[in-house]
Amino acid sequence: MISVVGLAKSFGERTLWSDVNFTVNKGEMLALVGPSGSGKSTLLNCMGVLERASSGEIIVDGTNVTKLRAPAQRRFRRDTLGYLFQNYALIENATVNFNLQVAVGGRRGRTLNRHAIEAALDRVGLGNRGKEMVYRLSGGEQQRVALARLIVKKSTLALADEPTGALDSANAGMVIEVLREQAESGCTVIIATHSKEVEQSCDSALALG
Ligand SMILES: Nc1ncnc2c1ncn2[C@@H]1O[C@H](COP(=O)(O)OP(=O)(O)OP(=O)(O)O)[C@@H](O)[C@H]1O
């Protein structure tokens, strides 16, 4: 569960947004909508503790994450957060399997991880592609690797930035289904999107700008 309370963000003189308030419960999906430049990615980055808000609070499962010191921020990102970035944030010069292995903690629980990784790759339509180097994959395939990483990580807060951007409609539908499955298994899901279909697949929407 996440609650955003009186959040504001300015860059110098320019106020991007102020007094943003919302709560998303466990199991729910929120769409962040608004024109290009309205600050959807910035708001996601604040919730992911990648960027600081100018004022206000972000409470995730009872913890005010705006107040965390650097080591606790790293633990929050490692243990709680699943993030689908616009640029996928994959290690390009490594295999698909390695990228997923890193997400679930390196060498710990290797056998368990291998099955979980195979299942996640199957789910996103990339079964048997685990040994390929990420830089050889298409943009849409890389986006699906990032989705598989979100599945294996079993986060409690998933933040997705335009997750259907590089995909055809069948794969876009699959991404939304997977995010819904994450919500059903107890995750809180927030999606920045320009897509009406994605917005309509969510439980509620918040408009910026
Ligand atoms: N570090 C920064 N310094 C100054 N301005 C910034 C910084 N980061 C973002 N901005 C500005 O904040 C605005 C919002 O950017 P953001 O990427 O959050 O918008 P968005 O709604 O996600 O846009 P899009 O739909 O195009 O992805 C933009 O005008 C951007 O230039």
Give tens-digit pLDDT for 165-200.
Answer: 878 889 899 999 999 999 999 999 999 999 999 999
- Half-sphere exposure in the Cβ direction for 200 (13 Å, CA): 4
| Ligand 1 pocket mutation, candidates 42, 44, 161, 208, criterion most atoms within 8 A of CB | 42
In angstroms, the CA 205 to CA 106 distance is 36
In 3-state terms, what secondary structure has residue 107?
Answer: coil
What is the whole-number distance in angstroms between the Cα of residue 206 and the centre of ligand 1?
Answer: 17
Please give the Cα distance from 71 to 34 (Å, whole number). Answer: 33
CB of residue 16 inside a 6 A radius of ligand 1:
yes
Which listed CATH number (3.40.50.300, 3.30.450.20, 3.90.79.10, 1.20.1300.10) goes with 2-207? Answer: 3.40.50.300
- Give the model confidence (pLDDT) of 32-45 as tens digits: 999 999 999 999 99
Residue with tokens 């920045």: 192
DSSP state of 132: S
* pLDDT > 90? residue 18: yes
How long is the chain? 209
79: pLDDT confidence band, cut at 50, 70 and 90? confident
Residue 108's pLDDT band (cuts 50, 70, 90): low
Retrieve residue 84's tokens.
Answer: 């689908």
How does residue 154 score in pLDDT terms, banded at 50, 70 and 90? confident
Query: What is the rounded CA–CA span in Å between residue 44 and residue 51?
Result: 9
Rounded to whole angstroms, the Cα distance separating 2 from 124 reads 27
